[in-house]
Structure 1
């Protein structure tokens, strides 16, 4: 099951890299977003079991705060996170949306299957 999940995540990363490639230089890529947030996946799939938010998860969330300052970067990050989250079985969206605050970061959008990333400013 774990190897299937890794394969699925790898496919999403490759897809995101291919889709994100035409963006202007300096724009955040889906690969950067996935790499930064990968340490959070087990936490949100296991409903926060095991205690507090892993430090590497918070570090990843914080690392995205700087490169997502423009509207287009926030929209790209939103689209990427939304697509990756849709491919993760058992994800807890409520917990996922609490993570930025738990890590001391303000998120400019909520993640859910119905999020309209075009409306992110």
Structure 2
């Protein structure tokens, strides 16, 4: 009887872990990625200058949130989608944004609409 209670407890804990952990798997939706980078839009549409601190904070936060290869690929795909829908973005500023914010990108791969997201899977 005691082992049956232990099994039930373990099953309940496992179910709770799945339910509680489920929202975390959806943390990096395109909506999340795009909304987190709103503080960068004015800078990216400009001609350069100083990156706003709020923008860099969001870039760093997004980088630390994207932990798995799937997360990183999703961020890449979302950024490419945002390029298509946002007009007048200076691609040179976009490519240099991670470095200006102190975020290292693998192999110095620039963030660009032509980036192959299947290969762009690792932030350093």
Q: How does 1:1-121 map to 2 (within 5 A)?
A: 25-27=23-25, 28-48=28-48, 51-108=49-106, 109-121=109-121
Unpaired runs of 5+ residues, structure 2, are 1-21
Distance 2:86 2:99 in 1: 22
For the aligned residue pairs, the C-alpha RMSD in angstroms reads 1.6
* Structure 1 length-normalised TM: 0.71
1:96, CA displacement in angstroms? 0.6
- Between Structure 1 and Structure 2, the one with more helix by share is 2
Unaligned runs of 5+ in 1: 1-23
Deviations 1:5-64 (A, max 9, x none): xxxxxxxxxxxxxxxxxxx6423211221121111111111122xx31011100110111
TM-score normalized with structure 2 length? 0.70
Runs of 4+ deviating beyond 6 Å? none
* Alignment check: 8 A CA contact 2:94 2:112 kept: no
SS of structure 2 residue aligned to 1:72 = helix
Question: Which protein is bigger by CA-based radius of gyration?
Answer: 2
- Tell which deviates more after alignment, 94-103 or 107-116: 107-116
